[in-house]
Structure 1
């Protein structure tokens, strides 16, 4: 079954405190969010340094990453917006990554919004969308073994450690986790 493309700006999920929507490369707000997020020391330490240093590079990063994924797979990383303020606070979503046999979940928040349960809320919304709209039965997650906060969150979400692995274009070994979104399934 071919994925239905996801349109930039489309609302993907809503929670009591958050909206998750597809990003757009022509959005100055989305580019600014990504520029800030990708240059956060915690993002660089736990995920990677993507080398994005300007708004133009951030727009290109969105176009070549999330927007391409929306068109090809109907999924990607989504902007997280607080409902009470309209502020963009991070991203969460799904990635089709070379070396993995299914999509993996990802999330990152700006430091001012960490420790408030927002990453869990966003991740649960991504998981619900994966199950309901995308009809996925299983999700993967990769995490650096020193990122204890992310490992705790994955475990809280029901993810189970599978093994340590190396992936193409990832410069260190990562932990591979999985969760079954539909009870009793293994695919």
Structure 2
């Protein structure tokens, strides 16, 4: 059975290959490329492959991954949020990205709060990390509001710039 979460305004569900249109748009948003990375996804087939090899493979190997964030009234996917287990990090990390028209409305805080609760309640994760570009002040503020504290700044992915690593207990 597929995992999902509900909040007052949002439904978080597992991605499917049919969500490739959203993924293509999200991964090519200038804010995503600037603050997260350019994943090199330029067409629907590459977007499907991103979903299959990224979020969807996480569901199989860890039971969790990035989930589609659906706004309940419209039924539209407005972003992604969830838990990612990276081989080069000690704990799972909280990840999120939203389409720009949904910035500043509390959606990221609402989705992240639900994911932090699920990390403890549903997946037994005692700690979570979050990695963020040092220049991404809005995300850094959000992480601090969510109870994360800066632990370190270091290179996570070889050849890429250093990132801020935040940590918090889930309970």
> Shorter-chain TM-score category?
over 0.9
Aligned equivalent of 2:10: 18
Shift of 1:169: 4.6
TM-score with structure 2 setting the length: 0.97
Match of 1:54 in 2: 43
Q: Over residues 116-148 of structure 1, what are the superposed CA-to-partner deviations in whole Å (9 max), with x where a residue is unaligned?
A: 000000000111111110011110000010000
Q: What root-mean-square deviation, in Å, do the aligned CA atoms of Structure 1 and Structure 2 show?
A: 1.0
Q: 1:71-90 to 2 correspondence within 5 Å?
A: 71-90=60-79
Paired residue for 2:81?
Answer: 92
SS at match of 1:176: strand
State the SS of the aligned residue for 1:81. Answer: strand
* Cα deviation 1:38-60 (Å, max 9, x = unaligned): 00000000000000010110000
Cα shift at 1:168: 2.7
Which runs of 5 or more residues in structure 2 are unaligned?
none
Pick one of 33, 41, 45 that aligns with 1:44: 33
Structure 1, unmatched stretches of 5+, are 1-6, 183-187
Q: Structure 2: how far apart are the matches of 1:77 and 1:160?
A: 22
SS at match of 1:21: strand
